[in-house]
Amino acid sequence: MQAAAVDDELHVHGCALTSTLCYDYPRAPHEENQGEMVQSGALEAIRTLLLAERTPSATYTRAIKAIGDLCYKNVGNAEIVLKMNLFPLLAHGLDEHAKNADVLNAIAAVFFVVLVAHPHGAKCGILQCGVLERALHCMQSCDLLVSTAYHILRLLEATLREDGT
């Protein structure tokens, strides 16, 4: 039991460190670090965390945020996320964590970041996985925070926007 708690804490800190190393300073991505971490298996490790049974919500949220940070302004990493087929896993997270604002924010942010980096591929993935319907379902939660609604609406708008506008 104690070992599991230590492992969970280690996973949270590992994902937080991954996120931190993705930037030179706030909103200035460090593309070299982002690329090297993905090449060394960071996305595969995160995927394993997301697939594990009983992943604590703090670990799950941190892992999702790390995916977004690895893809922030990084077309190559966004393409890898699409090739790894992570969108269905993230879409499932919208259902599993529909009442958790932190998880919803993180998932919506990942979809948005990948959508900005790789519009066509991300739109196809979002539509194929039923993300829009799932996001609208999450919007019906009476406990929804304004910031969570903003992230979901931003995702919906960006997905539905016509290319070139």
Q: pLDDT by residue (tens digit) across 71-97?
A: 999 999 999 999 999 999 999 999 999
3: confidence class by pLDDT, cuts 50, 70, 90 = very low
Joined together, the tokens standing for residue 66 give 């790390």
What average pLDDT does the chain have? 89
Overall fold of domain 2-160: Leucine-rich Repeat Variant (1.25.10)
CA dihedral 110, 163, 30, 8 (to 10 degrees): 10
Whole-number percent of the chain with pLDDT over 70: 94
1: confidence class by pLDDT, cuts 50, 70, 90 = very low
**Domain locations along the chain:** 2-160
**Residue 63: which residues within 8 A CB-CB, separation 6 or more?**
11, 15, 46, 49, 50, 55
pTM of the model: 0.89
**How many whole angstroms from its chain centre is CA 155?**
12
Give 5-28 pLDDT, tens digit per residue: 558 899 999 999 999 999 988 778
Joined together, the tokens standing for residue 106 give 């993180």
Cα–Cα distance for residue pair 19/22, rounded to 1 Å? 5
Secondary structure E strands in the chain: 23-25, 28-29
- Per-residue CA distances from 57 to 11, 62, 63, 136, 150 (Å): 12, 8, 10, 22, 21
